[in-house]
Amino acid sequence: MMKRVFLCIVLSLCVGLNGAYSTNKIDQMIYGQGMEGVAHRLLLQEEEETSAEKLVPVVEEEEQDLSPPRPKPDVPCYYDEDVPRLVSVQTWKSKKTRPRESITLMTQLSDDRLKMLENQCYSWNDPLVAIVYIPLYKKSPEDTTIIPTYPNTTLDDAIRGIDAFHYFMEKTASCVLTIELVGQFLDPLDPEEYPINALRNRAIKLAETEVIFMLDVDFVACAGLGMEAPGYRDPTVYNQLVELTSQKKALVLPAFEITKRNQDLIMGQNFARNMAIAGKSVMREKYLSGQVDAFNGQDAPWGHGPTNTSKWIMLEAPMTYRAFYQPKYEPFLVLNKKVLPWCDERFVGYGGNKIAFINQLRGEGFTFHVHPFGYVIHVPHVKTKAANTFVLAKRKGASYMDHLRALVEREIAEGHFVPHTGFCPHENPDGSDDGLGQETEPLTLLQHE
């Protein structure tokens, strides 16, 4: 049954369904012989939709984003000595075995958010790569390295804490967890320069599966992309998923949030984790009853508007539909590592980084297709200092990240954007190396200046 379900997904991607914004008709098609030698026939009926059913306005055909990809520079990235200089402190790898047919969830976090990583590890039963970041400081090479955000805390303290956390996840959680602890020597009075895109690139390097999934740590994802077993554990289904994503068809997972924002945080976090496990039918029930809604649907509807969450909720057929890019779109995506570009490491702190990366993907010819079953849900938490600082700067018109995003988007439109990193041009996201780049500096060689 699940082979037939995924074949339907494959077909809808291959024919480029435009279900998100307009009415379409696709004639009856025969998909050919399956594993059992039975011809599967798929009839896709014309969809009748009205603008009243949508979270985003209906866009006419001539207004859709059908422009060809921009010219791509010959190099995958530009070596920039001014981007964050991360050092690897220690790596913990799971001793669990993983099936070949796996999807790696990649995330990044500061070490005070391990509880959120725990939520992800309990809901995701596949490989999970987490890059944990700490700011570092020492007065001289002979002094003990300290963590300026935590007085009286040493680097050894942080290592022992993560070691205990990883051991606990190995024994109790379903994920196959890899953690890399990385640091950056900073001025102790300004430790807030969180190097988000540099961390994402390190996660890409550590991912060992071809199909990967980038997710912020304050979200949890439904296991197995919401598909009934065996789902993509079936080699035929997984190979089709690899083929689709290798064609730069990015699978969008709709994002949700809990509508009751003033409830107890622990209860809200437990609710979110339970919703990730429950599946689409329960998510539909909670959405229609008003307990969950599209993520940031009220505060920033442009972020996930093209996903058309109301359409996804009512969709029962095993087919994807096209989500057409609009400015400031920032969905969570399942991608193929072999065709994935690097993230621009000039983005630090909060704001604009994922919007710019999605635009970067669009500029390189990626298209976005909403998965019919998979989804993510936000885990409520106290707003971070970095987020508050970004909002205040934005109100004053002084957000550096906004200015950088505008620069990047202009370069993408002109066809000469190249992401800045601290290791190019020698590496590609798929792991190949031309031997021309810089080696990663070990922690013992780095000093605070």
Q: How many C-beta atoms surround the C-beta of residue 293 within 10 A?
A: 17
Q: Does the pLDDT of residue 423 top 70, yes or no?
A: yes
* Whether pLDDT at 71 is above 60: no
Bridge partner residues of 136 (DSSP): 185
| Segment 186-201, tens digit of pLDDT | 876 565 678 999 999 9
At residue 94, the pLDDT reads 97
pLDDT, mean of residues 46-68:
34
pLDDT at 4 over 60: no
Q: Which helix (H) or strand (E) holds 359?
A: helix 353-363
β 376-378/249-253 pair status: unpaired
Q: Give the end-to-end CA distance of the chain in Å, rounded to a whole number.
A: 61
Averaged pLDDT, 128-143: 86
Alpha carbon distance 403, 421 (integer Å)? 18
Q: Measured on CA atoms in the order 74, 78, 79, 85, is the torsion positive or negative? A: negative
For the segment 332-337, the average pLDDT, to the nearest whole number, is 97
Are the C-beta atoms of 242 and 234 separated by less than 8 Å?
Answer: no
Q: Is the dihedral of CA 188, 190, 196, 198 positive or negative?
A: negative
Which pLDDT score, from 0 to 100, does residue 165 have?
97
SS3 of residue 430 by DSSP: coil
What burial letters (b/e) apply to 167-177, b meaning 16+ CB within 10 Å? eebbeebebbb
- CA 143 centroid distance within chain: 38
The whole-angstrom distance between residue 259's C-alpha and the CA centroid of its chain comes to: 22
Report how far residue 116's alpha carbon sits from residue 381's, in angstroms, rounded to the nearest whole number: 9
**Tens digits of per-residue pLDDT, 73-120?**
567 888 888 899 999 999 999 999 999 999 999 999 998 899 999 999
* pLDDT above 70: residue 211: yes
Mean pLDDT over 27-33 rounds to 27
Q: Is the pLDDT of residue 23 over 70?
A: no
The tokens 């059992």 sit on which residue?
36
> Residue 78 pairs with which residues in a beta bridge?
420
Quote the DSSP letter at residue 223.
Answer: G
Over residues 368-420, the pLDDT tens digits come to 999 999 999 999 876 655 554 545 555 556 567 888 888 999 998 888 899 99
pLDDT in tens, 164-173: 999 999 999 9
Could you identify the residue written with the tokens 């077993």?
Answer: 229
425 or 408, which is more confident:
408
pLDDT at 307 over 60: yes
Q: Is the peptide bond before 230 cis (omega within 30 degrees of 0)?
A: yes
Cα-based distances in Å from 290 to 84, 260, 293: 42, 9, 7
State residue 50's pLDDT score.
29
Residue 259 DSSP one-character state: S
pTM over the 0.85 mark: no
User: 368 pairs with which residues across the strands?
Assistant: 250, 323
Average pLDDT for residues 332-341, to the nearest whole number?
A: 96
Residue 380: asked if its preceding bond is cis (omega within 30°), the reply is no
DSSP 416: -
Per-residue confidence band for 59, with pLDDT thresholds at 50, 70 and 90: very low
Average pLDDT of every residue of the chain: 78
- Is the pLDDT at 428 greater than 80? The verdict is no
pLDDT of residue 35: 29
